[in-house]
Amino acid sequence: TGGFTQHGYDGEDFLGYDMKTFTWIAPKQQAEITRLKWNHDQAGLAFRHNYLTQT
């Protein structure tokens, strides 16, 4: 199975999870700090990947 997750703010995309690279992507410059912080959290990335592929 596969899945996806994304977060929006004020009606626009803010962050999305890339299932191919197992990282967060930031379509807006305003999300860059959050993207860096979330991509640094290896346990969180592993959890997200497992959740999206196993449930």
Q: What is the mean predicted confidence (pLDDT) over 33-52?
A: 94
Q: Specify the pLDDT at position 16.
A: 93
Pairing type for strands 6-9 and 12-18 reads: antiparallel
**What CA–CA distance (Å, rounded) separates 55 from 15?**
21
Q: Specify the pLDDT at position 39.
A: 97
- The secondary structure of residue 28, as a DSSP letter, is S
Confidence of residue 4 (pLDDT cuts 50, 70, 90): confident
Q: Which residues pair with 17 in a beta bridge?
A: 24
Three-state DSSP state, 22:
coil
Q: Specify the pLDDT at position 44.
A: 94
Tens of pLDDT, residues 7-42: 999 999 999 999 889 999 999 999 999 999 999 999
Note the pTM of the prediction, 2 decimals.
Answer: 0.79
Q: Specify the pLDDT at position 2.
A: 62
Contact by Cβ (8 Å): 3, 9? no
